[in-house]
Structure 1
């Protein structure tokens, strides 16, 4: 198991549990070979490797429990992923709770997704971590049920898809920060009275047929482990091509430490190669 002393992501969550201020954005190192461009509509940040595959794009949706996070906090991790995949990646922004609640965030990320298609990308993958993974699934579901071209693939990191926090992995005691009560409170703030089993809010309750190939990465020590396991089973039972990798000793969104830990670098490499393969298939 990775020790606390060598795991900046674990240090971050332990400090957060003590209500200490941390710099989430600084967990990763600066990625090399990435050109950045800030965009106002849709709001976000382009992260372009210089060897990007033409005609493709990745929509990257940050996590943060709907109360925090931004393209800036995730710029480094998504930049490492863009470089590993060789794919131009757009890290999108969306409104946060309490000013913005369900389904506002879904509408915002769908706008960004449509703009990527309208901008000339013929193949678009969707990436999200934590609540961003739930939004990525909402994009795929909305596209499938509309006249919008669906994403070719989805990469979901530490997916949060059960807003009722019913998974047994909350009870293992291995996660220093995410408790069932905390996650339920975050979900309630986002839902603002909406049903937590609405398919666009909780993908475990969605009709998952005809969704694109999906790769899940999750920390084996995180409280949300069962979200990814149950989602993988649900997608597989619906005929979706699913891969799930559990990383021993790791906590929530551990790839945020890209460039600083071997396990985060391994996860980013695996994810980049997988995303690139879906663009070439």
Structure 2
């Protein structure tokens, strides 16, 4: 008899109850929800055996996390989530450091400017500045990118902007529950299963970030862009989340463009379920898969 039938809550049910009881409303008023989001993210575990430094790279504020076993040969450029309106470079530090460990990487997390005070392309400009500076300062290192939710969408926007500017792609990129589609009404109905994200949430945050353009900028219209030549991609999502179709469409389009791509779907998992590392076995497996993917793109691995 499993836990779901004997009356004991499973780890998944515990997580779902936590999300149902959360006061967070991702589509709510920005000042109030920013503080709730900050408190919620601060409640996540802190990374162990990691030194942290707040500094500036390329003119943009960043937080650098250096695990004790980092070799200096790989740098992960991390972009946090929060619908382009919430969040900070301190978010999900334990998660991203766990992903970084198989590659023995240092993490540089960008405190990119947030909407609505700083709409598109402010966040993208910040990331490009940091990327350029890292490539110059760490020219011997392997540079990879990781992003979650809106940060995952920002990773794709960055890859497209790098291509447009004829700049080198990173060695690899990981996107967790990426938000890519700014036309949420086009998605199949999966809203009732997602405990965080709704179509109205995405409409409000998209207006904050992009305004009401007659046509999406190329770097923001990631699902309709030419993806050929982009870095190898590892994509993760939960089967219960509203953004599932974003991940599925990205995987299909990347494969059609001959981009090396891996797709990992967590069965009955919620949005960015990887943040429950240590509680959800599915999160542990997903984090291992992402870390192994990045480790496989270290120079020593690529030359085998």
Under a length normalisation based on structure 1, what TM-score does the superposition of the two structures give?
0.91
Q: Paired residue for 2:14?
A: 6
Distance 1:144 1:11 in 2: 41
1:25 matches 2:32: no
In structure 2, the residue corresponding to 1:79 is in which secondary structure? helix
Structure 2, unpaired ranges of 5+: 5-9
Kept in 2: contact 1:60–1:89 (CA 8 A):
yes
Shift of 1:34: 1.5
1:107 matches 2:125: yes
Structure 2 counterparts to residues 71-86 of structure 1, below 5 A: 71-86=89-104
Distance 1:211 1:105 in 2: 20
1 or 2 for the larger relative contact order (CA 8 Å, sep ≥6)?
Answer: 1
Shift of 1:110: 0.5
Distance 1:133 1:195 in 2: 24
1:116 matches 2:123: no
Kept in 2: contact 1:155–1:216 (CA 8 A):
yes
Shift of 1:202: 2.3
In structure 2, the residue corresponding to 1:73 is in which secondary structure? coil
1:275 matches 2:294: yes
Instruction: Give the alignment partner of residue 258 of structure 2, picking from 239, 247, 251.
Output: 239
Count of residues in correspondence between the two structures: 280
Larger Rg over CA atoms: 2
Kept in 2: contact 1:17–1:177 (CA 8 A):
yes
CA RMSD across the alignment:
2.3
Bigger shift: 267-276 or 142-151? 142-151
Distance 1:37 1:144 in 2: 30
Kept in 1: contact 2:76–2:108 (CA 8 A):
yes
Under a length normalisation based on structure 2, what TM-score does the superposition of the two structures give?
0.84
Q: Paired residue for 1:70?
A: 88
Structure 2 counterparts to residues 219-238 of structure 1, below 5 A: 219-238=238-257
